Amino acid sequence: MARDLRWDDIRVFLAVARRESLSAAGRALRLDPATVGRRVQRLEEALGARLFVKSPQGYALSEAGQGFLAHAGAVEQAVTGALEETRGDPDLLTGSIRIGAPDGCATFLLPQVTAAICDANPGLEVQIVALPRVFNLSKREADMAIGVSRPTAGRLTVQKLTDYHLHLVGARSYLDAHPPIRRRADLEGHRLVGYIPDMIYDTELDYLAETGAERVTLASNSVTVQLNWVRQGAGLAVVHDFAMAGQGDLCKVLPGEIALTRSFYLIRHADDRRVERLNRFADQLAAGLRAEVARRERLT
C-alpha cells in the first residue's frame, strides 16, 4: 500500500520518465544524478513497486511505472493549477507549458503566437519543442502537441485548428537558369527538394505524389533546411504558403496544378480536459494560430 508519497519525488519520477535518463532529469531539475536516483528509489519504496527498468538505452518505464505515469501527470497538473490560483491575478496564466510541434509550425507560426500570449500573461513560460516526429503525450513529453493528422490511438483529445496551403516553389535564380515549366511534364529533369523518404513520420507529409516525381535529389527531415535549399536556388520544393511570407525571391510553380491543402490539429491528453489553465491556453493558442496562418498566407 502506498505511503508517504511526496510531490518532489513524483516530480523527479516524471522527469526521468520523460527523459529516460537520471543525468538528463537531473539537469532539468538542477539535481545531481545520485539525488535523482535516491528520490526514485524512495518513491518506489513508498509505492511498493519498481517503476523503471534499466537498460543500455536508459531508464524505461516498467509496467507499474506505466500505470503510475497517468496518475503522476494528474498530480502535476493539480499542483500547477493550485499554485496558479493562489498567485496574483486569477485571470492570468502562469507556470510553464510545453508544446510539441513539427518544425515548420514551430519555426514560422508558434514564436509570434506564443509571444503574444506571454505578453498578455507575464507570469507564463512557454517551451516549444520543434521535432519532426509524433510526440508521446502519454509520457508527458509535452503538455500538448500540434500534429498534421488526427491520431488514431491513445487517450487523447483532438481539435482541428486550421487548414493551411502548400505549393511547388522555386527561387527566381533557379527558374531563370533552367528550362521553363509550363506543365507538369516539364518537371522532368528539374532538381527536387523534399523529405528523406524513410523519415516521413506522417503520410500527410508525403508530397511526391503531388508533383509526379519518384525521388528527390536533395532531402532533409527539416522543413527549414528544405526551404533554405530552395532560397539558395538549389531546386524546387513543396513549401508552406505561410513560410513564403516575406520571401520575395520565391515564386510558385504551376500553382493551378500543384496546390495542396493540409490541416493542423491540437492534440492533448484526455486527462487534461479538466485542467482549466491548459484549456484557457489552448483556446488562446488555437485562435492565435488560425489568425497567424491567415495573415501570412495573405502575404504570398
Domain definitions of the chain by residue range: 7-72, 89-160+263-298, 162-261
Q: What is the mean pLDDT of residues 188-196?
A: 93
Burial 47-83 (b: 16+ CB within 10 A, else e): beeebbeeeeeebebeeebeebbeebbebbbeebbee
Q: Give CATH superfamily name and number for 89-160+263-298.
A: Periplasmic binding protein-like II (3.40.190.10)
Q: Do domains 89-160+263-298 and 162-261 have the same CATH topology?
A: yes
- And the C-alpha cell for 207? 508530397
For residue 144, what pLDDT is reported?
92
Give me the pLDDT at residue 213, please.
82
Residues contacting residue 238 through CB under 8 Å, at least 6 positions apart = 166, 167, 168, 169, 194, 207, 210, 211, 258, 260
- Among 44-53, 123-132, 135-144, 151-160, top mean pLDDT goes to 44-53
Domain 7-72 has CATH 3.30.360.10: no
Give the pLDDT band (50/70/90) at residue 132.
low
> Confidence class of residue 149 from pLDDT cuts 50, 70 and 90?
very high
> What pTM, to 2 d.p., does this model score?
0.75
Using the predicted structure, report yes or no on whether residue 154 has a pLDDT greater than 90: no
- Per the prediction, the chain carries an average pLDDT of 88
How many percent of the chain have pLDDT more than 90? 57
pLDDT at 133: 64
Pairing label, strands 52-55, 58-61: antiparallel
Instruction: Give domain 162-261's CATH number out of 1.10.620.20, 3.50.7.10, 3.40.190.10, 1.10.10.10.
Output: 3.40.190.10
Taking phi over 0 as left and psi of -120 to 50 as alpha, with beta for the rest, 10 belongs to alpha
Stretch 206-219: mean pLDDT: 86
